[in-house]
Amino acid sequence: MNALAPETGLLPGFSDPVAQSQKVFRVVLEAMSRPGTIVAAHTVASAPRPLDPVAAALILALVDYETPLWLDPAAAQPAVIDYLRFHCGCPLVERPDQAAFALITDPKSMPPLSSFYLGSDEYPDRSTTVIVQVPHLDGGEGWSLKGPGIRDQAILSAGHLPAAFKAWVQDNHLLFPRGIDLLFAAPTHVAGLPRSTQLEG
């Protein structure tokens, strides 16, 4: 991609939106139905910084004009905002609890999971899905996961998360059927941590 003048610096999204969205959706489906499994990501060629191409592909596939998106302060850059407005047409919201999807690019300073929309008893499916961009999916402290979609036990070690993250996930699980679903986007892979998953050790 050539360097572009500022006002024309929009990066292209998917070259084939239908087929590529479907591929990304398959990745998300696999990651969510087998929590902790590290799934090879489908990605886009380029994304405006600090957005990684894998996280960008997730957003392009999942977010549209009917799904309000919350960006963490690190992601809320003009280039990212223009990119998302153009390709997704999504409303950007000020508060995490107004969002159908949230994008975290600086996990260390992410807000607690309880600050997102947790869903209602009538419509637990309307809770926020949080996409967390992480540098890697191995080499962290390693949590052991249990629950639907996990035969015995799965290990997930997403890196660079706040110290309280584990406690947040445990509290989130207790809200079931309400609660947040998490998707981790590493540079080449994706992993899911839905609300149904219990976190141990």
Partner 1 sequence: MAYAANENDARRLWMGVLAQSAEAELARLWSGLSGLPGWDHLRRPEVGLVMVRGRMGGDGGPFNLGEMTVTRCSVRLENGAVGHAWVAGRSAAHAEMAAVADALMQDPAWRDVVGQKLVAPLHRALAAAQEQAGRKAAATRVDFFTMVRGED
Partner 2 sequence: MYVAVKGGEKAIDNAHALLAEERRGAEEVPELSLAQITQQLALAVERVMTEGSVHDRELAALALKQAQGDAVEAIFLLRAYRTTLPRFGASQPIDTGAMTIRRRISSAFKDLPGGQVLGPTYDYTHRLLDFALAAEGAARPEVKAAETGLEPSPRVTDVLRHQGLIEESGPGADIPGDLTRQPLNFPAGRDLRLQNLARADEGFVLALAYSSQRGYGNTHPFAGEIRMGEVAVELVPEELGFAIDIGTITVTECQMINQFKGSKTVPPQFTRGYGLTFGQCERKAMAMALVDRSLRAEELGETVTAPAQDQEFVLYHSDNVEASGFVQHLKLPHYVDFQSELEMIRRLRRENAEAVP
Interface residues with partner 2 (CB under 8 A)?
A: 10, 64-66, 82, 85-86, 89-90
Distance CA 161, CA 108 (A): 5
H/E stretch holding 174 reads helix 165-174
Q: Pick the closer one to partner 2 by CB: 2 or 8.
A: 8
According to CB under 8 A, which one of 27, 63, 80, 86 is a site residue for partner 1? 86
Q: How far is the CB of 90 from partner 2 (least distance, A)?
A: 8
Which tokens sit at 20?
């590529």
Decide which of partner 2, partner 1, none touches 13; Cβ closer than 5 to 8 Å per partner kind: partner 1
Distance CA 107, CA 116 (A): 15
**Contact stretch for partner 1 (CB under 8 A) within 1-9, 23-31, 106-114, 117-125:** 1-9
Decide which of partner 1, partner 2, none touches 85; Cβ closer than 5 to 8 Å per partner kind: partner 2
Distance CA 59, CA 148 (A): 25
7 binds partner 1 (CB under 8 A): yes
1 binds partner 1 (CB under 8 A): no
Geometric angle at alpha carbon 28, from 9 and 74, rounded to 5°: 40
Rounded-to-10 torsion of CA 19, 21, 27, 30: -90
Decide which of partner 1, partner 2, none touches 66; Cβ closer than 5 to 8 Å per partner kind: partner 2
Residue with tokens 């107004």: 98
Q: Which residues bind partner 1 (CB under 8 A)?
A: 4-5, 7-8, 10, 12-13, 15-17, 86-87
